Chains A and B, each alone.
Chain A
Amino acid sequence: MEISNAKQVINIDAALTARIDELLSHYPADKRKSALLPVLHEVQDAHDNWLSIELQDKVAEILGIKPIEVYEVVSFYTMYNQKPIGKYMFEFCRTSCCALRGAEDLMDYTCNKLGIKEGETTPDGQFTVVGVECLGACGYAPMLQLGDYYKEHLTKEKVDALIDDCRAGKVDLHKLTITE
């Protein structure tokens, strides 16, 4: 993924600091670097779902490691976004089992409906559609990931309803619910 020079407002507030400290407590005191992946998730969630270079530098500072140690991790793992993305990112699994059950058609349908191509974001910054590799929901295909959750056994109608819910502000990306 390309790196973005877009400006990002960095805000490590008290709640986020407390959460980072909690995560750090899970590892020996001299192994702070081990907390890097979970900490990056939390920091990204609190910053519109992407990590600018400045924000990555901040994480390095918090963990007491070199910035390059953060960059090389962020660029390796697919869940860290290095450029701004849509508020609602629809990540369609398109690996074999989902493809067998119509994932490709459904992703095309969604892209057409939103007027974008796979990998693009709508001009209003609301939606991004990407094809991703196996999410471990093969028996419940086709499916997509949205925030912390999976939406499974999808149909065109369910995608329509999901887009409507997002537009109406009814979808919380991080609130704990149980999948169907």
Chain B
Amino acid sequence: MATKILLEHANVPGIKTYDVYRQNGGYRSVEKALKGMTPDEVVEEVKTSGLRGRGGAGFPTGMKWSFIDKKSGKPRHLVCNADESEPGTFKDRYLMEYIPHLLIEGMITSSYALGCNLSYIYIRGEYMWVYRILEKAIKEAYAAGWLGKNILGTGWDLDLHVHCGAGAYICGEETALIESLEGKRGNPRIKPPFPAISGLWANPTVVNNVESISAVPWIINNTGAEYAKIGVGRSTGTKLFSVSGHVKNPGVYEIDMGMTVDEFMNSDQYLGGMMNDRPLKGLIPGGSSVPILPSHLIFKTAAGEDRLMTYESLADGGFATGSSLGSGGFIVYNDTACIVRNTWNFSRFYHHESCGQCSPCREGTGWMEKVLHRIENGHGREEDIDLLWDIQRKIEGNTICPLGDAAAWPVAAAIRHFRDEFEYHVRFPEKIKNRDHFVAEPFEKVKHLVAKQVV
């Protein structure tokens, strides 16, 4: 259960440089595609692989590619979304920092499939040192003839550049990213038209996540059918998970889709269990936007089946008892974590990152932050919990882009699964004055107080 596709050569000394990357089989997919395949055959191969977008939405990559408008005759663009900003997610950074040429190779092969002559990697501005690593790697690829005019004598030209953002989570949304790449504020566009029809400079554009693009070279070298053999059902291939929080071994892991959550969490090869062996309280499996799972729904679904690391299994039970694979940002909480504080923290994040275009999100995220802040700081009222529920419900589905939903879901899930913790905060303000209230006295130990209270 440990196929290495993306991180196969991650530990090879010097793999960051062109020469070592090439010696380890780098750029073979470009040769194979350009010399022996038509662009449509490359698209078909990716369709066959079942690869799904690794940025969070999980939309089939090959299908997304097939939507690009080839009839209008306008220039087409591939833009790589490297604006990794979802709290809990740091996998793309790992790929770009340690194996930059893998992404560049993927960009070339994918640009060929889409018929692009000008492509970009949009990286978040905070990853400035990674930006410089990519710039250097791109220069090496130009020098070696993989970019520029008449690549491999085929007559096909491709220019690839890296473009940096400047600190805006919203630019991870594909239309906001395109606006930003045009030198504007990152305000998402109303769809349709979809970028595949009218994207960068109104040209047909495909936006794909770093991890999705980085899987393309392997798929072309080994066929889509081979890729589809890995994994379970519609969750094919391998997936990177970035792990943080209260575990023994945080970091980036590549696993076959389909491993049990139990094995991933508890085997020494992966997370090694809980830090300091404290009890597990909750898990966010796919970045801050997806619902938190309480401990009894982590290893087993509500139906009693093993919970697997797949799109389907992590979502099993819908929002009532499931979550989502999202971006693979795996955040683990032990019994000292305060769910109210954590939810307030997320709401502050979404309030800060809302672009301000749609009122439900602009105002709603601010209200949620305020109400959560007062509950966490001992000034909450009993009716605040229902008020929060009401606010999140009115944001969800009422905004141009999914940031509104992403801000609403963590609040909804926290109330759904940890309502007693909110009640405790409201009813016992003197016990939560200290920021680390559950470190000194975990909620499990004081839970009975909430049950006794009659309202």
Q: Is B185 touching A79 in the complex (CB atoms < 8 A)?
A: no
Once bound together, how far apart are the Cα atoms of A87 and B115, in whole Å? Answer: 46
Asked if B234 is at the interface of the complex by the 8 Å CB criterion, the answer is no
Question: Which listed residue, B127, B168, B245, B251, touches A76 by the CB 8 Å rule?
Answer: B168
* Interface-lining segment among A2-10, A119-127, A132-140: A132-140
- A138 adjacent to B244 (CB under 8 Å): yes
- Confirm or deny: B272 has a beta carbon within 8 angstroms of a beta carbon on chain A: no
Residues from chain A with Cβ under 8 Å of B89 in the complex = 136, 138
Are the C-beta atoms of B183 and A33 separated by less than 8 Å?
A: yes
Contact B201 A96 (CB under 8 A): no
| Closest CB in chain B relative to A152 CB, distance in Å | 10
A-B contacts at CB below 8 angstroms, number: 154
Q: Interface residues of B toward A: which range? A: 35 or more
B163 an interface residue at 8 Å Cβ cutoff? yes
Are B349 and A95 closer than 8 Å at their CB atoms? Answer: yes
Q: How far is the CA of A169 from the CA of B129 in the complex (A)?
A: 20
CB-contacts of B228-272 with A (<8 A): 242-246, 250-252
Q: Which of B7-15, B38-46, B80-88 contacts its partner?
A: B80-88
CB-defined contacts of B128 to chain A, threshold 8 Å: 41, 147-149
Report the contact-size class of chain A (Cβ under 8 Å from the partner).
35 or more
Collect the chain B residues with CB atoms within 8 Å of residue A41's CB.
125, 128, 164, 166
Q: How far apart are B157's CB and chain A's nearest CB, in angstroms?
A: 14
Q: Is B352 an interface position by the 8 A CB rule?
A: yes
Does A31 reach chain B (CB closer than 8 Å)? yes
**Roughly how many angstroms separate A33 CA and B129 CA in the complex, as a whole number?**
24
CB of B435 within 8 Å of the partner chain: yes
Contact B181 A34, beta carbon cutoff 8 Å: yes
Q: Please pick, from A34, A79, A104, the residue contacting B183 in the complex, using a CB distance under 8 A.
A: A34
Q: Pick from B132, B167, B183, B251: contact of A176, CB below 8 A.
A: B132
A149 to B133, CA, bound (A): 12
Docked Cα-Cα span, A99 to B168, in Å, equals 20
A133-B352, A134-B85, A138-B88 known; A37 vs B165 contact (CB < 8 Å): yes
Q: Does A11 contact B (CB under 8 A)?
A: no
Q: Counting CB contacts under 8 A, is B337 at the interface?
A: yes
Task: Identify the interface centre among B129, B250, B342: most chain A CB within 10 Å of its CB.
Answer: B129
23 contacts between A and B (CB under 8 A): A27-B161, A34-B181, A37-B166, A41-B128, A65-B183, A73-B183, A76-B185, A76-B355, A95-B288, A95-B346, A96-B345, A101-B244, A133-B348, A134-B86, A136-B126, A138-B244, A139-B251, A139-B252, A141-B244, A141-B250, A147-B128, A148-B128, A148-B132
- Chain A residues with CB under 8 Å of chain B are 26-28, 31, 33-38, 40-41, 63, 65, 69, 72-73, 76-80, 94-97, 99-101, 104, 132-141, 145, 147-150, 176-179
Given A26-B161, A28-B118, 20 extra CB contacts under 8 A = A28-B201, A34-B181, A34-B182, A37-B125, A38-B164, A41-B164, A63-B183, A69-B184, A78-B166, A94-B345, A99-B345, A100-B331, A100-B342, A104-B435, A133-B349, A136-B84, A138-B90, A139-B242, A139-B243, A179-B129
